[in-house]
Chains A and B, each alone.
Chain A
Amino acid sequence: MLFELRDVSFSRGGRRVLDSIGAVIPVGAAAIVGPSGSGKSTLLRLLNRLADPERGAISYRGRPLVDYDPLKLRREVALVPQLPALLEGTVGSNLRYAADLAAAELDAERCLHLAGLDRGFEGRDISRLSVGEQQRVMLARALAQEPRVLLLDEPTSALDAAARDAVEATFAQLRRELDISLVLVSHDPDQARRLGDWALRLEEGRVVAAGALEEALA
């Protein structure tokens, strides 16, 4: 069991975004699906404590999330947001920043390769990258921290079909070679089918289905 959510609620601006969520997210690849505004991204932010639920409790690997040092937790449970938000500078300086925070040995070429980018990107200024390239640098930057879990928020939303296939292949490779668990937010049930082996379906902040992939997506 990777995460367990018990009666989790969260409101923003007076609006209930998540309403009494209860779920067990297993180790492996889990997909959180649902229409826009159903609370998928908010749920992801709760999993690495970018926000805390106003009610209920979340545990990670059997231990309450609030018992973890949030900084260490975020390096272990890395979130790749939907919109790229890199630091000013080069791709390489972004990767180094992340690796230094995690006290990890940086293999920039490998991180870039896993994210579908060649080593020539290392010296590129981030202001000169397309949104799709930035999205992949965000993934490479997360990988530079050698996380155990990747929280991916619509990770291929800015990519064309070929780039999407390459990144999806990377996710499969990460699971296989590095034993990284994935929690993937997607509005696309087909992507959930390709990548996940377990799914949670949200609608208007409530769980409407959870379990084995085909069952939950049916």
Chain B
Amino acid sequence: MSTSIHVSLGQVAAALVLVTVAAAISRWRRADLERDIAVATVRSFVQLTAIGYVIMLIFEADTIWLVLALLSVMVVFGALTARSRAKKVPDAFWPLLIALAIAGGTTLGLVVALGIFDPTPRYLVPVGGMVIGNAMTASAVALNRLGDEVADSRARIEATLSLGATAREAAAPLVRRALRSGTITLVDSTKTTGLIFFPGTMVGMLLAGAEPTDAVRLQLILLYLLLGSVAIAALVATTLAYRNFFTPAEQLRELPAEPR
């Protein structure tokens, strides 16, 4: 897996043609997305270029501490981003932070312990980024759903608490559905991978000139890793976050006013 290709800025610039197509479609059909498309294009260029240089520095330094520092920053920003999508969950930041840290830590730890990848920056940085990114999406979806479920099921939750059920028992069906919704997207896309879409890693490796069998195997490893990490993240996030809806006396808290 040591193949590498050189991509010039000219080639990147040429790909912008498709961005102008997207902007033209938006303008033509009055989708009012031109500004967003422009922002997305500029941000992706700046952010990816910046992270590219950061990764280059980390690869050159070749120390595990820099890798851990980068992944920690990703976990914090991932938790902040996911929190903004889970507005109905009180104090969602800590459950999300812990969920991402545990999902990233256990997944990367297992990968290294099982000898799938070497504990070097070249593997840990890209794999860690993918794991944390997917875990962020899954836990955000799960908590968003949990917030909706609690808002919709207040009467049923309180009726169950009235029977002397604990908060955990009263919230169990909601937590189950939230966990499911956080995980199901990746499960579904894993089912259709290779049929309906080619996942990014495989495409990247094929473009870089790798053998198709190598590309497929690496992609499979990553898919399986992501399944595990996404499930862990959704589980930890929902397990910790549901409690924030309840008081220590097993009462359902009043919902805060919906942020606008």
Residues of A whose CB lies within 8 Å of any CB of B are: 12-13, 45, 48-52, 66, 70-75, 78-79, 81, 83-88, 97-98, 101-102, 138, 141-142, 145
Contact = CB atoms under 8 A, between A and B. Distances in A.
Contact of B162 (A81, A83, A88): A81
A49 B163 contact: no
Q: Chain A CB within 10 Å — which of B155, B159, B164 has the most?
A: B164
B249 A70 contact: yes
A72 B164 contact: yes
Contacts of A97: 163
A142 B254 CA distance: 24
B173 interface: yes
A193 B163 CA distance: 28
Contact of B155 (A70, A81, A141): A81
Interface in B132-190: 155-156, 158-166, 169, 173
Contacts of A81: 155, 158-159, 162
15 contacts: A13-B254, A45-B158, A50-B161, A50-B252, A52-B249, A70-B251, A72-B164, A74-B161, A74-B162, A78-B162, A81-B162, A85-B159, A85-B160, A86-B156, A88-B173
Given A85-B155, A87-B156, A98 B163 contact: yes
A135 to B, nearest CB: 12
Contacts of A75: 163-164
Contact of B163 (A13, A45, A145): A145
Given A85-B156, A87-B156, A88-B173, 18 more contacts: A49-B251, A50-B158, A50-B161, A50-B162, A52-B247, A52-B249, A70-B251, A75-B163, A75-B164, A78-B163, A81-B155, A81-B158, A81-B159, A81-B162, A85-B160, A86-B156, A87-B160, A138-B159
Interface in B42-60: none
Given A81-B155, A83-B155, A85-B158, A51 B164 contact: no
A12 B155 CA distance: 16
B147 to A, nearest CB: 18
B248 to A, nearest CB: 9
Contacts of A12: 254
Interface string B207-250: 00000000000000000000000000000000000000001011
Q: Which 9 A-B pairs have the closest CB atoms?
A: A75-B164, A85-B159, A85-B155, A85-B156, A74-B164, A79-B162, A71-B164, A70-B249, A98-B163
Given A51-B251, A52-B249, A145 B158 contact: no
B158 to A, nearest CB: 6
Q: Chain B CB within 10 Å — which of A81, A88, A102 has the most?
A: A81
A97 B163 CA distance: 9
B113 to A, nearest CB: 41
B251 A101 contact: no
A71 B252 CA distance: 13
A101 B164 contact: yes
Q: Chain B CB within 10 Å — which of A50, A88, A97 has the most?
A: A50
Nearest to A80: B162
